[in-house]
Structure 1
Amino acid sequence: MKRVITFGTFDLFHIGHLNILERAKQFGDYLIVGVSTDALNFSKKQKNPIHSQEERTRIINALKVVDEVFYEESLELKGDYIKKYNADVLVMGDDWKDKFDEFKSLCEVIYLERTPSISTTEIIEIIKR
């Protein structure tokens, strides 16, 4: 069984999120998703997500394309998560291109093109207007 791992915040779940998860699953039989914790998001962006980590995890866990979900607590632990979940493939959006090449000794690393013209940040800006 080929195991695929990916990571994300998945706040204000939208079609871009679904697209990358469905495409990630095509690289294996079992899709594992690390949902970043509220604390990790705050440390990266100095703001909390709209939805709590529990709500975001429930949404991801409810998707039939996803087989397993866990909390990503630190960006520095990606290699540990790859090992812990025995991942054969790491899939990330191409906005992270080359940033995770260091893990090529642990698994295959694939960067997928993001869905054009959609992002959580853009959705929040539209709502604010």
Structure 2
Amino acid sequence: MAETTVITFGTFDVLHVGHIRVLNRAAELGDRLVVGVSSDALNFSKKGRNPVFSQDERLELVSNLKSVDQVFVEESLELKRDYLTQYDADVLVMGDDWAGKFDFCSDLAKVVYLPRTPSISTTALIEHIRS
């Protein structure tokens, strides 16, 4: 029986319990979890700010989580299909705030949108720490 590879993406800045929960749920959908960590440049283009932790630090943090088997740098949102092919992904997992936006990949992999952990976000944490 072939191994099922799950792939997901995120910035994973200021790692929190919401990140851990979504990664654990993603890992449960297959045998191997591959995680694309947004590059510093991609994060800036998406959010208009630099991440708190550098790309290398975020890669190190995510790669040391029990549920994660492999990490790589996600350079562009437009390369999702290329990443699915490169990592031979069977399942693409995204947060439900992206619902429907990656259905165009459903010919390559099963697309699953997982609900986010309520009442927690990196942006809210950063604002809380600042205040």
Q: TM-score, normalised by structure 1?
A: 0.99
SS in 1 for 2:106: helix
Aligned-partner residue type, residue 54 of structure 2: S
In 2, Cα distance between equivalents of 1:12 and 1:72: 17
Aligned-partner residue type, residue 91 of structure 1: V
In 1, Cα distance between equivalents of 2:4 and 2:105: 17
> For the aligned residues, what is the CA RMSD?
0.5
Distance apart, 1:95 and its partner CA: 0.5
Partner residue of 2:8? 6
Distance apart, 1:8 and its partner CA: 0.1
Distance apart, 1:46 and its partner CA: 1.9
In 2, Cα distance between equivalents of 1:120 and 1:106: 30
Runs of 5+ consecutive residues of structure 1 not aligned to the other structure: none
What is the 5 A alignment of 1:1-129? 1-129=3-131
In 2, Cα distance between equivalents of 1:118 and 1:77: 28
Distance apart, 1:39 and its partner CA: 0.6
Distance apart, 1:128 and its partner CA: 1.4
In 1, Cα distance between equivalents of 2:124 and 2:48: 18
Distance apart, 1:32 and its partner CA: 0.1
In 1, Cα distance between equivalents of 2:11 and 2:20: 13
Could you list the runs of 4 or more consecutive aligned residues of structure 1 that deviate by over 6 angstroms after TM superposition?
A: none
Aligned-partner residue type, residue 116 of structure 1: P
Q: TM-score, normalised by structure 2?
A: 0.97
